[in-house]
């Protein structure tokens, strides 16, 4: 099958060690003014095309990390370039509006033809934001305001003098308990104060930062292959659900919402079954607690559905779904009008998102639909999974706990020498990322095809043979 974009290289080309001499010199210069300790690869974006990322030394790598899962339709995509050159985009960039106060005349149309065109089932409104952390943070605020509004007796009930006075002292009014957001162990929801308090993946994210006293439940640790551990996995999921219910009922700071990733990404690509999530939804409804689904990394087609939670076949949709990364914009979807604050300026900042990024997401959606890229990802994911499954059988211990079957290209496996594995991959022409302690996570773009999968699998086998 021909690549979606003819300008794409036919394959990787490694000319120097990575980083090479030009990259090393540029990194040294950059380090004088910018912290480079987390640097993965210095990139020449003018020369990067489609699925391929290029460095200053001319090394061309197949990129299956895609800027931490945030590039949807390839580098220098011609359709996105055309959108970027439009008069609408230019106007949005040079006249960036404070959306809450001065939205552009066509803002409703931009939302309806873009962000809301792909809204999850049952959710028909959106609050736009700047990034994934911001999306989750504002969703949490909406949950707190919703809960307090119910406690007061409805949106029409005015705040008391005591409530307003105590708010200015950072205190809860006498007679009211503090509220919390429940998350799961090994989760990642962002790095702002509220989102960081629900992040539980690595200590380095949280050290020295004050955090809220909020509960965390155990995310079920499934054993692989799934079909050989069915009873154990069901028991693990039931135990996790029992813990969720116990925390809802008994935690000393009652949760008003539960936030969960369809696949825990930064925490190690941890999965749970659709039945687990359906039961989790039922629990939140039973106890009048909101369910926030964090689709920042899993959304926009990566799992073979536009939204990963579509795999759960919910009868009752989540209360809010947050998004960012591949959408190139951010925010949260909701449907219940009670989740819109009862007064203006309660959910507000200067920008409230970015029309330029909303226009880009609209162009991304059009490109996804034009090329049927969600179906492409589902098909190619099945192909790639079967190839890596064969590698796992051929090289025991190198591709352990392979997971992501039936979830598009959202595939991961464990390797006991993970960091060295990732470093060696560059030498074989592939840029890959990791997550958790041992996981190698694959995050190809939606334009990733079978011939790209063959190149990747060949590189993975070369790494396995190189130890």
Cβ atoms of 245 and 255 closer than 8 Å? no
Which residues on neighbouring strands pair with residue 13, listed in sequence order?
60
CA distance 150 to 319: 15
pLDDT of residue 460: 98
Number of domains in the chain: 1
pLDDT of residue 2: 83
∠ CA(171), CA(176), CA(180), 5° rounding? 75
User: Under the phi-then-psi rule, with left for phi > 0, alpha for psi from -120 to 50, and beta for the rest, what region is 175?
Assistant: left
Maximum separation of any 2 CA atoms in the chain, in Å? 71
pLDDT of residue 280: 98
DSSP state of 2: -
Supply the CATH number for residue 261's domain. 3.40.640.10
- Please indicate whether residue 184 is annotated as part of the active site: no
Cβ atoms of 371 and 301 closer than 8 Å? no
pLDDT of residue 467: 84
Torsion, Cα 183 185 188 194, to 10 degrees, reads: 40
Catalytic residue among 171, 350, 372, 465, which? 350
List the one residue out of 427, 446, 444 whose CA is nearest residue 367.
446
Catalytic residue among 4, 184, 188, 421, which? 188
CA distance 323 to 132: 6
Residue 226 forms part of a structural domain: yes
CA distance 49 to 3: 12
Residue 197 forms part of a structural domain: yes
DSSP assignments along 4-52, one per residue: SSTTS-SS-B--S-SS-HHHHHHHHHHHTTS--TT------TTT-BBTE
Catalytic residue among 305, 325, 326, 387, which? 325
Query: What is each CA distance from 71 to 51, 65, 433, in whole angstroms?
Result: 9, 9, 14
Phi, psi of 448 (to 5 degrees): -70, 130
Q: What is the pTM of this model?
A: 0.97
Cβ atoms of 442 and 49 closer than 8 Å? no
* 3-state secondary structure at position 466: coil
Tally of CB atoms within 10 A around 375? 13
Strand ranges for 283-399 from DSSP E: 290-294, 320-323, 330-334
Residue 12 forms part of a structural domain: no
Residue 428 forms part of a structural domain: no
pLDDT of residue 149: 95
Domain around 240: 87-165+176-369
pLDDT of residue 186: 97
List the one residue out of 205, 232, 202, 208 whose CA is nearest residue 220.
232
- Please indicate whether residue 10 is annotated as part of the active site: no
CA distance 69 to 411: 12
- Please indicate whether residue 325 is annotated as part of the active site: yes
Average pLDDT, consecutive stretches of 10 residues, N- to C-terminus, the chain (467 residues): 89 97 97 96 97 98 98 98 98 97 97 98 97 97 97 94 95 91 98 97 95 98 95 98 98 98 96 98 98 98 98 97 98 97 95 97 98 98 98 96 97 97 97 96 98 98 94
pLDDT of residue 174: 87
Long-range contacts of 105-112 (CB under 8 A, 24+ apart): 107/355, 110/355, 110/358, 110/359, 110/362, 111/358
Residue 5 forms part of a structural domain: no
Residue 322 forms part of a structural domain: yes
Catalytic residue among 55, 57, 279, 294, which? 294
Strand pairing report for 412-414 and 439-441? antiparallel
Residue 407 forms part of a structural domain: no
Torsion, Cα 68 74 76 82, to 10 degrees, reads: -120
∠ CA(27), CA(32), CA(35), 5° rounding? 70
Total count of residues recorded for the chain: 467
Cβ atoms of 352 and 98 closer than 8 Å? yes
Alpha helices (H) in 322-372, listed in sequence order: 355-371
pLDDT of residue 354: 97
Phi, psi of 199 (to 5 degrees): -85, 130
Residue 217 forms part of a structural domain: yes
Q: Cβ contacts of residue 117 below 8 Å, gap of 6+?
A: 362, 365
Helix%, strand%, coil% for the chain, nearest 5: 40, 15, 45
Tally of CB atoms within 10 A around 407? 25
């Amino acid at each position: 099958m021909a690549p979606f974009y003819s300008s794409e290289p036919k394959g990787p080309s490694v000319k120097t060690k990575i980083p090479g001499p030009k990259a090393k010199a540029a990194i040294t210069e950059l380090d004088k003014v910018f912290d480079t300790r987390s640097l993965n690869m210095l990139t020449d974006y003018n020369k990067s095309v489609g699925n391929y990322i290029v460095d200053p030394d001319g090394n061309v790598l197949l990129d299956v990390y895609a800027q931490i899962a945030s590039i949807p339709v390839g580098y220098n995509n011609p359709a996105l370039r055309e959108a970027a050159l439009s008069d609408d985009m230019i106007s949005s960039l040079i006249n960036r509006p404070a959306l809450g106060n001065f939205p552009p005349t066509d803002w409703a149309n931009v939302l309806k033809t873009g962000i809301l065109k792909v809204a999850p089932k049952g959710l028909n409104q959106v609050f736009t934001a700047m990034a994934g952390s911001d999306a989750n943070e504002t969703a949490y605020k909406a949950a707190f305001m919703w809960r307090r509004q119910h406690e007061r007796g409805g949106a029409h009930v005015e705040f008391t003098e005591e409530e307003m006075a105590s708010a200015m002292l950072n205190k809860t009014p006498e007679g009211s308990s503090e509220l919390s957001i429940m998350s799961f162990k090994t989760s990642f929801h962002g790095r702002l104060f509220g989102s960081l308090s629900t992040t539980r993946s690595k200590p380095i994210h949280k050290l020295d930062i004050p955090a809220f006293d909020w509960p965390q439940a155990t995310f079920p640790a499934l054993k692989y292959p799934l079909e050989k551990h069915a009873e154990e996995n069901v028991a693990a999921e039931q135990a996790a659900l029992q813990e969720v219910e116990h925390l809802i009922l008994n935690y000393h700071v009652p949760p008003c919402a539960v936030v969960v990733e369809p696949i825990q990404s930064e925490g190690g690509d941890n999965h749970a079954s659709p039945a687990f999530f359906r039961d989790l939804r039922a629990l939140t409804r039973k106890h009048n607690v909101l369910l926030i689904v964090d689709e920042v990394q899993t959304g926009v087609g990566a799992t073979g559905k536009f939204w990963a939670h579509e795999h759960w076949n919910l009868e009752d949709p989540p209360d809010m779904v947050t998004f960012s990364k591949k959408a190139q914009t951010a925010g949260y979807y909701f449907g219940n009008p009670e989740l819109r604050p009862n007064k203006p300026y309660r959910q507000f900042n200067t920008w409230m998102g970015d029309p330029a990024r909303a226009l880009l997401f609209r162009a991304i959606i059009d490109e996804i639909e034009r090329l049927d890229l969600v179906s492409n990802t589902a098909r190619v994911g099945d192909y790639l999974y079967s190839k890596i499954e064969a590698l796992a059988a051929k090289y025991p211990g190198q591709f352990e706990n392979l997971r992501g079957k039936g979830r598009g290209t959202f595939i991961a496996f464990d390797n006991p020498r993970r960091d060295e594995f990732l470093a060696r991959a560059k030498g074989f022409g592939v840029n890959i990322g990791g997550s958790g302690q041992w996981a190698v996570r694959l995050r190809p773009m939606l334009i990733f095809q079978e011939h790209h999968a063959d190149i990747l699998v060949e590189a993975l086998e070369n790494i396995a043979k190189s130890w």
